[in-house]
Amino acid sequence: SQLKAWRAAIIHCIADPKDVGVEHAYEYFEDGLLIVENDTIKAIGHAAELLPTLTSDTQVEHHPDGLITPGFIDTHIHYPQTDMIGSYGEQLLTWLNTYTFPEEGKFHDKAHARDVADRFLQELLRNGTTTALVFGTVHKVSVEAFFEASEVHNLRMICGKVMMDRNAPEYLTDTPETSYQESKELIEAWHNKGRLHYAITPRFAPTSSDEQLSLAGQLLNEYDDVYMHTHLSENKDECAWVQDLFPASKNYLDVYDEHKLLSERSVFAHGIHLCDSEYHRLHETGSAIAFCPTSNLFIGSGLFKLGKAEEHNIHVGMGTDVGGGTSFSMLQTLNEAYKVIQLQNENLSPIKSLYLATLGGAKALRLEEKIGNLMVGTEADFVILDKKATPLISSRLALSKSIEESLFVFMTLGDDRAIKATYSAGQCVHQR
Ligand code: GUN
Ligand code: FE
């Protein structure tokens, strides 16, 4: 077996600050050591205590200006929207028709899909994100290309084929039967293959018929541990449209609920305009919400009520929602999250932010035994942040009086330049 160690400051979350208080939610080692055996964390602690346990031939990488964190987890992103990020001037429904659908139309071509998937993964790794819950397009080949690209780096990734049989251009629609059949074939071929998982992915209520949503629910209930990934209550016009299309449903979430799409492995992006019974039902079914601040601001959707989700004990992870979102960087996503919460006269502490981007995301995806922190026995997915990344980060951190303040500086000023290296299952997958 192969032992390797990294010496640097190390921080990771071990619980939700909401449950145990900020000070008990994390472990911090100012001069820490992370020991990895093959692809797994073997030990974590103070360098002074752990260095003497190593044999003299063990390789120790020392990063005096480094801060090690768990790899970031992005709980909502669209890989086919990589090249249309920053599309100008529209809100959700016109944004979809004007920019998104034409771009997604290109993914019938597997070579194109693979090219974008490769560049998308590079971008995630440059930003320290090691796991993501990812939308493909309606084309089966788009998901095959994505999984094949993910396998190359041995990444823990979740993806699914979009199901969409109405209210979209013909070149982007399937049928209830083909969407069920192709999704099932993808599950059989890829779900739990290595570190890959499948998510049944109806785009959102307006682009699926009753029949398609029913078959999606049926498929979800045929498997124990397949995911369900969709959008929920993002934009006011969208919510009104859903009410029109599904007049018999009590509310937006109820459309999915009636089709048996709520589960412990269901992740709903956005969830901005929810009523109390929707929060209640999300909690009751163990469903999770992906909080996507850069997207919610950029497409003008609204402010996510993190306090409400917490009150109802709903699992929440962070999502970049690229290309509706404006950055692949989880640090920049937390920067915007802080401001979204500020605008509602609440606070988002740096430890809570770290939690949401790591262990909170892992819990939302039911992967907390495997990823999300650096506990012994978990998979060695981690990032080395660089305290000297830029002149400004360097001078600002020199004034920092605590690890919490330093984290906050990274989350405010940091982006891909702050990521010195990214590791997946113990292997270096990005280095600056
Ligand atoms: N709702 C339905 N499709 C989409 C999408 O592609 N992006 C976002 N942000 N919301 C959606
Ligand atoms: Fe989205």
What ipTM was predicted for this assembly? 0.99
- When pLDDT is cut at 50, 70 and 90, the band that residue 292 belongs to is very high
76 C-alpha vs ligand 2 centroid, how far in Å?
6
Q: What is the pLDDT of residues 38-62, one digit of tens each?
A: 999 999 999 999 999 999 999 999 9
Enumerate long-range contacts of 387-391, CB under 8 Å, 24 or more apart.
387/65, 387/66, 387/67, 388/65, 389/414, 389/417, 389/418, 389/420, 390/417, 390/418
Closest CA to 121 of 184, 185, 195, 63: 195
Dihedral sign computed on CA atoms, order 367, 371, 372, 378: positive
CATH 3.50.50.60 at 72-328, yes or no: no
pLDDT at residue 1 greater than cutoff 90: no
- When pLDDT is cut at 50, 70 and 90, the band that residue 204 belongs to is very high
Q: Is the CB of 206 under 6 A from ligand 1?
A: no
341 C-alpha vs ligand 2 centroid, how far in Å?
20
- What pLDDT does residue 219 have? 98
- When pLDDT is cut at 50, 70 and 90, the band that residue 71 belongs to is very high
- What pLDDT does residue 79 have? 99
CA 331 to chain centre: 13
pLDDT at residue 9 greater than cutoff 90: yes
Give the Cα separation of 33 and 60 in Å (integer).
9
Give me the mean pLDDT over the 189-214 stretch: 98
92 C-alpha vs ligand 1 centroid, how far in Å?
7
Give the Cα separation of 370 and 139 in Å (integer).
30
Pocket test for ligand 1, best of 74, 96, 173 (most atoms within 8 A of CB): 96
* Nearest atom, ligand 1, residue 301 CA: 9
Q: What is the pLDDT of residues 344-388, one digit of tens each?
A: 999 999 999 999 999 999 999 999 999 999 999 999 999 999 999
- What pLDDT does residue 90 have? 97
- What pLDDT does residue 309 have? 98
> To 5 degrees, how large is the angle CA 318–CA 415–CA 145?
65
The residue whose C-alpha atom lies closest to atom 11 belonging to ligand 1 is 231
Closest CA to 396 of 411, 379, 413, 382: 413
Give the Cα separation of 324 and 270 in Å (integer).
11
Give me the mean pLDDT over the 74-103 stretch: 98
The residue whose C-alpha atom lies closest to atom 8 belonging to ligand 1 is 324
135 C-alpha vs ligand 1 centroid, how far in Å?
10
Give the Cα separation of 289 and 310 in Å (integer).
11
- What pLDDT does residue 86 have? 98
Tokens of 10: 């190390």
Q: Is the CB of 234 under 6 A from ligand 1?
A: yes
Please name the residue that has the structure tokens 């305290």: 387
- What pLDDT does residue 431 have? 98
What single DSSP character describes residue 103?
H
Q: Which part of the chain is CATH 2.30.40.10?
A: 3-71+373-431
- What pLDDT does residue 39 have? 98
Q: Which part of the chain is CATH 3.20.20.140?
A: 72-328
Edge-to-edge strand ranges of the sheet holding 40-46? 40-46, 26-37, 3-13, 59-70, 382-386, 419-424, 427-431
Q: Is the CB of 126 under 6 A from ligand 1?
A: no
> Which ligand has an atom closest to residue 99 CA?
1
Residues paired with 196 in a beta bridge: 157
Expressed in angstroms, the distance from the first to the final Cα of the chain is 28
* Nearest atom, ligand 1, residue 204 CA: 2
Q: Are 150 and 136 in contact (CB under 8 A)?
A: no
- What pLDDT does residue 406 have? 98
Give me the mean pLDDT over the 266-291 stretch: 98
Q: Is the CB of 230 under 6 A from ligand 1?
A: no
Pocket test for ligand 1, best of 234, 239, 270, 299 (most atoms within 8 A of CB): 234
> Which ligand has an atom closest to residue 300 CA?
1
Q: What is the pLDDT of residues 227-240, one digit of tens each?
A: 999 999 999 999 99
Helix (H) or strand (E) holding 201: strand 196-202
CA distances from 88 to 43, 83, 95, 347 (A): 48, 13, 8, 30
Domain at 3-71+373-431: CATH architecture: Roll (2.30)
Pocket test for ligand 1, best of 78, 231, 256, 327 (most atoms within 8 A of CB): 231
Dihedral sign computed on CA atoms, order 240, 78, 419, 389: negative
Give the Cα separation of 355 and 82 in Å (integer).
26
Quick one: what percent of the chain has pLDDT higher than 70? Answer: 100
196 C-alpha vs ligand 2 centroid, how far in Å?
20
The whole-chain average pLDDT of the chain stands at 98
Q: Are 138 and 104 in contact (CB under 8 A)?
A: yes
Helix (H) or strand (E) holding 237: helix 236-245
pLDDT at residue 63 greater than cutoff 90: yes
Q: What type of residue sits at position 373?
A: N
Q: Is the CB of 298 under 6 A from ligand 1?
A: no
> Which ligand has an atom closest to residue 295 CA?
1
For residue 235, the SS3 value is coil
272 C-alpha vs ligand 2 centroid, how far in Å?
13
